[in-house]
Amino acid sequence: MQAYGIDATTGLAFAQMTAPAGATVISPLSTLIDAHGNQNSVRNALGLSTGAAALRSDTNLLTFNPVDGRRSSNAMVAEDAARITSVNLQLLALAVVTKDTNGDPIDSTVTLREVSQYLAQLINETGNARLSDKAVVLAALKKSRVAVGWPDAGLDAMATLLVKYLAAMPERLSDDAAVRAWAYAYRFYVLPELKILHRSWPNAALARIEAITQADIEAAAQSFATVVPPAMTAYVGVTDYRELGPEGTTPYRIRMGGCDTQPYAPYCNDWTLFGGSSSQGSITSVESNAPGALSVLLSSDGYVTVSRRGTFTGLTHFTYTGRSPDGLTSTGTVYVRVRDVP
């Protein structure tokens, strides 16, 4: 069994999730079990068999639905569901940087195949795949394409930041708002820093990024705690991300249009249900969430120009209305981080 599509809770796209024969749910966790072949070994390696965060022994990871379970009136069922939800989100986070196309833009589709293969190998080699263990994360990075031509010191810095995020995440995520908050804290706070780390080595931003704490990451998650969930219509605006900075010929300004060159238009990863993404859409309107900090203009040729107002730095966002090639519409959100330093 294999699946791809849009996650209804976060509005982020995924692909190459699988599950073995007999499974009734498909998830990052089922993909890891499918890659390894033994559910009990995976459970033990992830630390789900013993300790305060252990699952009940009769919880079948291939048939237990955590979305339904989080809504259960049975406290033990709800706790297991919340624990599995956290593990799935951690696997997704690691998948973003270990996928073969790790240079993709931040809002691109996440594939689960590669991370599952690497963790399955680690389970066979060491029996350990605890995702808050730096040795595990570093070993997974070294198996992936992100390590090609990259020094060990650079990988170590990436693993350190990743583990701060994975360790900061609550062991149990009990509702959709918490899932969105922690998914967005990764995509729109931690992941951009990982990409900065992977641009060059030695890295001028290393000291700044090393200073990021688990408390900073928790605060980032809290800032996303009340975001509006994506609208799951026939055409979905995939949550997007851009950065403005002092570099380039037009500091603190980008102009987006089309899907063939960077920076591409926000609609390029938008998703028609059961049809996938399309590069043939368009944008019909835009609106800044903070007009005093961010200017967003839609020109007659369909290009979107985003620029800083004043001296604002930090994270804000704008929304847009997208139109699919066959006339369907959606509302998408683009988070924009304005930086004064790399």
Residue 337, pLDDT score: 97
Residue 115, pLDDT score: 98
8-state DSSP, 59: -
If one compares 167 and 12, the residue with the highest pLDDT of the two is: 167
pLDDT of 299 > 90? The answer is yes
C-alpha–C-alpha distance, residues 30 and 22, integer Å = 11
Domain boundary among 223, 257, 291: 223
Residues 209 and 271 in one domain: no
Percentages (nearest 5) of helix, strand, coil residues in the chain: 40, 20, 45
Residues 256 and 333 in one domain: yes
- Residue 336: left if φ>0, alpha if ψ -120 to 50, beta else—which one? beta
Rounded average pLDDT over 171-188: 97
If one compares 258 and 171, the residue with the highest pLDDT of the two is: 171
pLDDT band at 280; cut points 50, 70, 90: confident
Tokens at residue 79, please? 């706790």
Domain count, the chain: 2
Residues 139 and 193 in one domain: yes
pLDDT band at 221; cut points 50, 70, 90: very high
Pairing assessment for the beta strands 314-323 and 282-288 based on DSSP bridges: antiparallel
If one compares 325 and 205, the residue with the highest pLDDT of the two is: 205
Pairing assessment for the beta strands 304-308 and 13-18 based on DSSP bridges: unpaired
Domain boundary among 194, 223, 252: 223
Give me the CATH number covering residue 256.
2.60.40
If one compares 266 and 86, the residue with the highest pLDDT of the two is: 86
Residues 48 and 190 in one domain: yes
Residues 148 and 290 in one domain: no
Residues 256 and 219 in one domain: no
For residue 297, give its domain range.
235-338
Residue 229 resides in a domain = no
Residue 77 resides in a domain = yes
Count of beta carbons in the 10 Å neighbourhood of residue 333:
20
Rounded average pLDDT over 334-341: 94
Rounded average pLDDT over 14-30: 96
Residue 100 resides in a domain = yes
Rounded average pLDDT over 264-277: 83
pLDDT of 262 > 90? The answer is no
Weakest mean pLDDT among 106-110, 225-229, 256-260? 106-110
Rounded average pLDDT over 135-149: 97
Residues 250 and 161 in one domain: no
The pLDDT tens digits for 71-125 are: 999 999 999 999 999 999 999 999 999 998 877 878 788 999 999 999 999 999 9
Count of beta carbons in the 10 Å neighbourhood of residue 310:
8
Rounded average pLDDT over 135-161: 98
Residue 218, pLDDT score: 98
- Chain centroid to Cα 173, Å, comes to 16
Tokens at residue 110, please? 């996440």
Residues 251 and 164 in one domain: no
Residue 247, pLDDT score: 87
Task: Tell me if 247 sits within 8 A of 340, measured CB to CB.
Answer: no
**Neighbour-count burial of 140, counting CB atoms closer than 10 A to its CB (0-12 exposed, 13-18 middle, 19+ buried):** buried
Rounded average pLDDT over 15-27: 96
Residue 228 resides in a domain = no
Residues forming a β-bridge with 255: 305
Residue 117 resides in a domain = yes
Residues 214 and 257 in one domain: no
- Chain centroid to Cα 320, Å, comes to 21
Q: What is the DSSP string of 80-131?
A: HHHHHHHHHHHHHHHHHHHSTTTTS-TTSPEE-HHHHHHHHHHHHHHS---T
Residue 151, pLDDT score: 98
**Neighbour-count burial of 171, counting CB atoms closer than 10 A to its CB (0-12 exposed, 13-18 middle, 19+ buried):** middle
Residues 267 and 219 in one domain: no
Residue 114 resides in a domain = yes
Residues 131 and 259 in one domain: no
Residue 78 resides in a domain = yes
**Neighbour-count burial of 65, counting CB atoms closer than 10 A to its CB (0-12 exposed, 13-18 middle, 19+ buried):** middle
pLDDT, mean over the chain: 94
pLDDT of 248 > 80? The answer is no
- Residue whose C-alpha is closest to residue 231's, from 331, 91, 122: 331
The pLDDT > 70 percentage for the chain reads 99
Write out the H or E segment, with its range, that includes residue 337: strand 329-338
Domain boundary among 163, 192, 223: 223
The pLDDT tens digits for 309-323 are: 999 999 999 999 999
Residue 230 resides in a domain = no
Residue 6, pLDDT score: 85
pLDDT of 289 > 80? The answer is yes
Taken in order 110, 242, 275, 5, the sign of the CA dihedral is positive
Residues 190 and 244 in one domain: no
Task: Tell me if 203 sits within 8 A of 157, measured CB to CB.
Answer: yes
Rounded average pLDDT over 14-43: 97
- Residue whose C-alpha is closest to residue 238's, from 47, 104, 99: 104
